[in-house]
Amino acid sequence: MDSRLCALVASGGGVCTWREMVRAAPEWTVQAACRAGRLVRALPGVYLDATLLSRTSTAEPLLARVEPEVTRRAALAYADGRGALSRLTALDVSGLRRQPPGEPVYVDVPIGSGLRGRPGLILRHRTGFAAEPPQVVVRAGLPVTRLDRTLVDCWSLLPAVDRPGPVIRAVNDRRTTPQRLVVALAEEPRLTDRAALRGLVDRLAAGCRSPLEIWGHDRVFTAPGMPAFIRQAPVRVGGRTIYLDMFAETERVNVELDGATTHGDPAEREIDLRRDALLATTGILVVRFTHRRLLANPADVRQQTLAILASRRPSS
């Protein structure tokens, strides 16, 4: 292939447009490279280095026969500055859920762009959309829809069991907030299973930070007689800040819920014991309930928690 075309294709990571190629070399040179099979048309006006194609899956759409990074660059080249990776593709780029093989590339474009979806590429035409801030951010060098909108958009596309995970992780990692998610949710009034997402966001806003904490919040720790626990309460001890899962301030009790895999590592268990001892120096009692016990006997956990809280209240 012509050296000018080779350099152009390499600079684009295996992707180039017809317009770029005919600016770099004569049109007949570009046509010769295509006829020779050195370049293949992936999308209208977008071409790929043929050596990047998988030779074992010729029945699949061409976009499914290259690595995801190449597919995404090709889709963005087709959008020609008017689109951004969205939904499940944006979720993958954000590192919150890997797109498995076979899933299409999702791209948002403005209404009136004249672009159409293709095999392996799903376009969504959005009113008022612009591929620029604040609607779009750059992740790993690629334009993607902002994270709060991405999480809302993906809610109905994921299996029900997989929906909460990315939302919880994004809030835990401080990459978004429940408040931003509420605003994004308001932009999608017809979202499938919208009430479930709103319920999850409400639990996150209350301070829950795991599926176990949400389960406990709904079924155990909001029962009659329970105090208004302060979730993720910051406490300064010995020059460090410790965040308490569920803190009853009057009783000076912190309730911790240990997940199903917690303390499989003795070193992690030792860290928690040291942390609990440090809190004890400030008069805070740490009470831990295991995943198994909470799920198997919530009534017992509720009763014991109430008894502990009662024993810690100042006598009148």
If asked whether residues 180 and 219 sit together in one domain, one would say no
Q: Of 179, 205, 231, which marks where a domain is finished?
A: 205
If asked whether residues 253 and 167 sit together in one domain, one would say no
Q: Has residue 61 been placed in a domain?
A: no
- Residues 194, 200, 201, 203, Cα dihedral to 10°: 150
Q: Has residue 303 been placed in a domain?
A: yes
Residues 6+ apart with CB under 8 A from 288: 255, 256, 257, 258, 272
If asked whether residues 119 and 149 sit together in one domain, one would say yes
Res 260: pLDDT: 56
Res 132: pLDDT: 95
Q: Has residue 135 been placed in a domain?
A: yes
Q: Has residue 34 been placed in a domain?
A: yes
Which residue range(s) make up the domain with 242? 211-312
Q: Are 133 and 169 in contact (CB under 8 A)?
A: no
Q: Which of 277, 271, 238, 270 is nearest to 254 (CA)?
A: 277
If asked whether residues 122 and 146 sit together in one domain, one would say yes
pLDDT tens figures, 134-173: 999 999 999 999 999 999 999 999 999 999 999 999 999 9
If asked whether residues 79 and 25 sit together in one domain, one would say no
Res 301: pLDDT: 94
If asked whether residues 215 and 304 sit together in one domain, one would say yes
Q: Has residue 60 been placed in a domain?
A: no
* CA distance linking residue 172 with residue 91, whole number of Å: 16
* CA distance linking residue 63 with residue 60, whole number of Å: 8
Q: Tell me which residue has tokens 């080249």.
A: 77
If asked whether residues 125 and 11 sit together in one domain, one would say no
Q: Are 101 and 95 in contact (CB under 8 A)?
A: no
CATH number at residue 33: 1.10.10
If asked whether residues 184 and 243 sit together in one domain, one would say no
Taking residue 189's Cβ as centre, other Cβ atoms within 10 Å add up to 7
Res 97: pLDDT: 96
3-class secondary structure, 84: strand
Residues 6+ apart with CB under 8 A from 161: none
Residues 6+ apart with CB under 8 A from 159: none
Strands (E), 50-104: 84-85
Q: Of 149, 172, 205, which marks where a domain is finished?
A: 205
Q: Of 176, 205, 234, which marks where a domain is finished?
A: 205
Q: Are 37 and 2 in contact (CB under 8 A)?
A: no
Q: Has residue 62 been placed in a domain?
A: no
Q: Has residue 56 been placed in a domain?
A: no
Number of domains observed in the structure of the chain:
3
If asked whether residues 115 and 238 sit together in one domain, one would say no
* CA distance linking residue 85 with residue 263, whole number of Å: 39
* CA distance linking residue 45 with residue 278, whole number of Å: 64
Q: Are 42 and 74 in contact (CB under 8 A)?
A: yes
* CA distance linking residue 121 with residue 64, whole number of Å: 9
Question: Per-residue pLDDT for the chain (316 aa), expressed as one digit of tens each?
Answer: 788 899 999 999 999 999 999 999 999 999 999 999 999 999 999 999 999 988 666 677 888 888 999 999 999 999 999 999 999 999 999 999 999 887 899 999 999 999 999 999 999 999 999 999 999 999 999 999 999 999 999 999 999 999 999 999 999 999 999 999 999 999 998 999 999 999 999 999 988 888 989 999 888 998 888 999 999 899 999 889 999 999 999 999 999 988 655 555 688 888 888 999 999 999 999 999 988 899 999 999 999 999 999 999 877 5
- pTM equals 0.83
If asked whether residues 215 and 201 sit together in one domain, one would say no
If asked whether residues 179 and 220 sit together in one domain, one would say no
If asked whether residues 235 and 196 sit together in one domain, one would say no
Residues 6+ apart with CB under 8 A from 149: 135, 184, 187
Taking residue 263's Cβ as centre, other Cβ atoms within 10 Å add up to 16
Res 181: pLDDT: 97
Q: What does the DSSP assignment read for 163-231?
A: SHHHHHHHHHTTSS-HHHHHHHHHT-TT-TTHHHHHHHHHHHHTT--SHHHHHHHHHTTTSTT---PEE
* CA distance linking residue 309 with residue 252, whole number of Å: 9
CATH number at residue 257: 3.40.960.10
